[in-house]
A and B are shown apart, each in its own frame.
Chain A
Amino acid sequence: MQLSLKRKLRFFLGVPVLLFCLTSVAHADTKTYKRTLEKFTNPDVTLVNQDGKRISFKSIIESDKPVVLDFIFGTCTTICPVLSAGYVNLQQKLGTDSTKIHLISISIDPENDTPKVMKEYLKRYRGKPGWDFLTGSRKDIDTIMRAYNAYIPNKMSHYALTLIHKPNADGWIRIYGIMSSSEFVDETKKAGL
């Protein structure tokens, strides 16, 4: 009984939050993201990419290219498609320069996101070379999420987060929210593109 009441209470507390979201007004011309500078320790784990190849995560992060990192999953409803549309638009805007930056998406649903699923996802979004989708054991994925202060216990409660790393830089640009295409290009230029 106690548990049931608690559950119902949680449900009711959720209603006003939900209603606020449904009725909230936003303006497209104002910034809808929060930018901070953060320091993280890059974890030394091995992941698998969309071609089934094993990749040392630390070595691709600590390369001589600017790196952009986000957290998505192949069957995501709302946030990942918009983040991925951002990646596609960035690649289009950069044109031939698009391979000078490494876009990385880390799966937060590693059990479902097999190389086959990830490859189909990139194909659907018309991702070009330079965008890798990585999966791995749940333990390793959790390690990465914790390392970048992005841990979520449930993939359905994730949020829009993009991390940008300038080669040899000490820290990361942490973008919380959704950027416009022009803002995304500006941020990557600040990271040395």
Chain B
Amino acid sequence: MSRVTSLVIIGLITSLACNAIAADTDSSGLNRLGERMYRDGILSDGTPLKGYVRGDVEIDSTMFSCTNCHARGGLGSVEGQVSSPPVNGATLFNPRYQYKDQIKNSISKSKGKTRPAQAIRPAYTDETLANALRGGMDPQGREFVPIMPRYNLNDQDMQIMVTYLKNLSSRLSPGVTDKSITFATIVTDDVSTDDRQAMLASIETLVNINQQTKNQKKFPQFAKMFRMLDTAFFREISVKTWELKGEPATWTAQLETYYKREPVFAILGGISNRPWQPIHDFCETNQIPCLFPVTDLPAVADKGWYTYYASKGFYQEGETAARFISDSIRDGAGGKVLQIVRNTDQGNALATGFTSTWNESGRGQLQTINLKQNQKMDSTLFQKLLLQYTPDSVVIWTGDETVATLAGLPPQTKRPQLYVSSRYVGKSITSIPEPLRENLFITYPFRLPEDEQSFKGYQEFLTLGKLKQPDEKRIATRTFSMIHIFLQGLKELRQDFYRDTLLDVLAMRPDQYLPDFERYSFGPGQRYASKGCYLVQLGKGATARLIKKSDWVVF
């Protein structure tokens, strides 16, 4: 091949490559590349973004990336004594003011006025931002704290990153105006009228609480600045009820129709007896936060971002039972486990949690019997399975027939350990015959009743919800807990009404001690707030006491 031909071919290849880059640098392609760099630490050529902290500590951004410190929405974070400032476009490419000036400026702007204030940092340009990312200097030449990495970015990747930051949280999310925020809650038609009312009445108190906050700003005790802040932050809240009818397969279309008619900022609470998965998927697709729906059948996934659940529900009970049994196995003894599963949403969720955790623990042998559709357990079948498999432990994920099954067993000198779910078996659990109780372990995913009564916040919740007696189904209390946590998040949002930021600020909340669960705990990327579940045994008598046999969290 002649040298001239080679040069022509090289020229053609270069030209094609440039065109390919140009084609990929349309706004959505560029944004995808920027998002991958910001969230996953991967450069446009697929290699890791690298840099240094504290001078010579090399970091690879596939370990931790921009999103770790500056959060997914780009509004930053505060952890201990380290503050990571906002890096969204609206903040970087505008002068930065002291917080009080920022508030005053916003209020003046809403009145069509401008006011002079000394900026503490001028607006970044593309060049000064590149200097900041590579050399750790702000536009005034001040050096960043050494914990901020100095990144190795070539010009092309720098352009991608700068463009991404320009567009990051640059426009307020749908459902928000200067005066109002619109939310939705979801009720499916399998929910009883009483349960529906318990959830909706609790949601209604949110609107009332918000109204009270608005009125408080008139009180003279508030300093001028506090009143000003309330004015700047305050939005009227309205919560629409999205009713879903028919089979879950049709829910997505119904949700899309509601959303098209009126976009909402977030979905607050909600209730269904069916698996939450279709609603979870809708929220992921449309990037809508969904906060603490009342469901015991949540989607259990490592990658979900938009739905925050109180717990993993039945799945979590199965998970806990598996850890408890696995931990009790010593030197391989007692490791023969039989799992019996009724083919219902609840039974399958319990079994999925148990099996996946058991497979991770790697101890003992597990045999699972899946009952057929509409098949129920009885004493004869149970006895037959015991004789066939001779297990050390039997995990019984059957429903309300469990008590009758166990009560009908012939007296035996030696029984395996039995494990059941308190919620799946239901109220009849306390009528388990006393001779069986010694061998029976029950998953119980809430604070124990005697502890709940002495829990000081409980009475407050009952009063707030105008409830005369404890809420046995925990619908009102779980919804109030959602409101409590949501209002904290809303306050932290200030004027940054971005959906990702709402989830970011909730993730940074300290532990919350509320009714039902021992603790709601949070953390970036964590989506199941209550991580625990007790294993309990029944005491003696008809109104048997629950006796703790495990810690709240079992490893």
The residues of A with any CB-CB pair to B shorter than 8 Å are 1, 4-5, 8, 12, 15, 18-19, 21-29, 32, 48, 52, 73-79, 81-82, 84-86, 88-89, 109-112, 114-116, 124-126, 135-138, 153-160, 178-182
**Are the C-beta atoms of A109 and B62 separated by less than 8 Å?**
no
Looking at B54, B62, B142, the one whose CB has the most chain A CB atoms below 10 A away is B54
**In the bound complex, CA of A25 to CA of B137 (Å):** 10
**In the bound complex, CA of A155 to CA of B525 (Å):** 15
Which residue from chain A places its CB closest to the CB of B326 in the assembled complex?
A: A52
Which residue from chain B places its CB closest to the CB of A116 in the assembled complex?
A: B360
**Are the C-beta atoms of B555 and A48 separated by less than 8 Å?**
yes
Interface string of B494-509 (1 = CB under 8 A from A): 0000000000000111
**Are the C-beta atoms of B551 and A111 separated by less than 8 Å?**
no
Given A1-B219, A178-B146, the answer on whether A112 and B531 have CB atoms closer than 8 Å is yes
B residues less than 8 Å from A116 (CB atoms): 360
How many cross-chain pairs have Cβ atoms below 8 Å apart between A and B? 158
**In the bound complex, CA of A3 to CA of B270 (Å):** 30
The residues of B with any CB-CB pair to A shorter than 8 Å are 53-59, 62-64, 68-69, 71, 77-85, 98-100, 120-121, 136, 142-147, 216, 219, 221-222, 225-226, 229, 360-361, 507-511, 519, 521, 523-526, 531-532, 551-553, 555
Given A52-B361, A111-B521, the answer on whether A8 and B226 have CB atoms closer than 8 Å is yes
Q: Per a CB cutoff under 8 Å, which of B62, B229, B523 touches A73? A: B523
Given A114-B555, A155-B523, the answer on whether A76 and B79 have CB atoms closer than 8 Å is yes
**Are the C-beta atoms of A137 and B553 separated by less than 8 Å?**
yes
**Are the C-beta atoms of B57 and A85 separated by less than 8 Å?**
yes
A residues less than 8 Å from B143 (CB atoms): 25-28
**Are the C-beta atoms of B531 and A180 separated by less than 8 Å?**
no
A residues less than 8 Å from B219 (CB atoms): 1
Q: How far is the CB of B319 from chain A (nearest CB, A)?
A: 9
The 5 closest A-B pairs by CB, nearest first: A81-B64, A21-B83, A75-B523, A111-B531, A154-B510
**Are the C-beta atoms of B523 and A82 separated by less than 8 Å?**
no
Given A5-B221, A73-B523, A76-B79, the answer on whether A179 and B54 have CB atoms closer than 8 Å is yes
A residues less than 8 Å from B77 (CB atoms): 77-78
Q: How far is the CB of B530 from chain A (nearest CB, A)?
A: 9
**Are the C-beta atoms of A81 and B79 separated by less than 8 Å?**
no
**Are the C-beta atoms of B79 and A158 separated by less than 8 Å?**
yes
**Are the C-beta atoms of A32 and B146 separated by less than 8 Å?**
yes
**Are the C-beta atoms of B82 and A124 separated by less than 8 Å?**
no
Given A111-B519, A124-B62, the answer on whether A79 and B555 have CB atoms closer than 8 Å is no
Q: How far is the CB of A162 from chain B (nearest CB, A)?
A: 13
A residues less than 8 Å from B120 (CB atoms): 19, 23
**In the bound complex, CA of A18 to CA of B225 (Å):** 18
Q: List 16 A-B pairs, Cβ < 8 Å.
A: A23-B121, A26-B143, A32-B146, A52-B555, A77-B71, A78-B147, A81-B59, A81-B69, A82-B53, A85-B59, A89-B56, A89-B57, A112-B526, A124-B62, A180-B55, A181-B56
**In the bound complex, CA of A15 to CA of B99 (Å):** 7
**In the bound complex, CA of A136 to CA of B142 (Å):** 43
Q: How far is the CB of A106 from chain B (nearest CB, A)?
A: 14
**Are the C-beta atoms of B511 and A26 separated by less than 8 Å?**
no
DSSP class of B's interface residues: helix, strand, loop or mixed? loop
Given A52-B361, A181-B56, the answer on whether A12 and B83 have CB atoms closer than 8 Å is no
**In the bound complex, CA of A52 to CA of B229 (Å):** 49
B residues less than 8 Å from A24 (CB atoms): 145
Q: A74-B523, A77-B84, A78-B84 are in contact. List 8 more A-B contacts (CB 8 A).
A: A21-B82, A23-B121, A25-B142, A29-B55, A78-B69, A78-B79, A85-B58, A178-B147
**In the bound complex, CA of A182 to CA of B510 (Å):** 35
Q: Per a CB cutoff under 8 Å, which of A82, A124, A125, A159 touches B81? A: A159
**Are the C-beta atoms of A26 and B57 separated by less than 8 Å?**
no
Q: Per a CB cutoff under 8 Å, which of A1, A77, A81 touches B221? A: A1
**In the bound complex, CA of A32 to CA of B99 (Å):** 28
**Are the C-beta atoms of A28 and B521 separated by less than 8 Å?**
no
A residues less than 8 Å from B62 (CB atoms): 124
A residues less than 8 Å from B85 (CB atoms): 22
**In the bound complex, CA of A77 to CA of B84 (Å):** 10
A residues less than 8 Å from B507 (CB atoms): 75
Q: Per a CB cutoff under 8 Å, which of A15, A124, A138, A160 touches B553? A: A138
Q: How far is the CB of A184 from chain B (nearest CB, A)?
A: 8
Looking at A8, A76, A77, A153, the one whose CB has the most chain B CB atoms below 10 A away is A77
**In the bound complex, CA of A138 to CA of B82 (Å):** 25
A residues less than 8 Å from B142 (CB atoms): 23, 25
Which residue from chain B places its CB closest to the CB of A155 in the assembled complex?
A: B523
**Are the C-beta atoms of A79 and B82 separated by less than 8 Å?**
yes
**In the bound complex, CA of A137 to CA of B551 (Å):** 8
A residues less than 8 Å from B361 (CB atoms): 52
Which residue from chain B places its CB closest to the CB of A27 in the assembled complex?
A: B143
Q: How far is the CB of A10 from chain B (nearest CB, A)?
A: 12
**Are the C-beta atoms of A28 and B63 separated by less than 8 Å?**
no
**In the bound complex, CA of A178 to CA of B149 (Å):** 13
Q: How far is the CB of A30 from chain B (nearest CB, A)?
A: 9
Q: How far is the CB of A102 from chain B (nearest CB, A)?
A: 20
**In the bound complex, CA of A40 to CA of B36 (Å):** 44
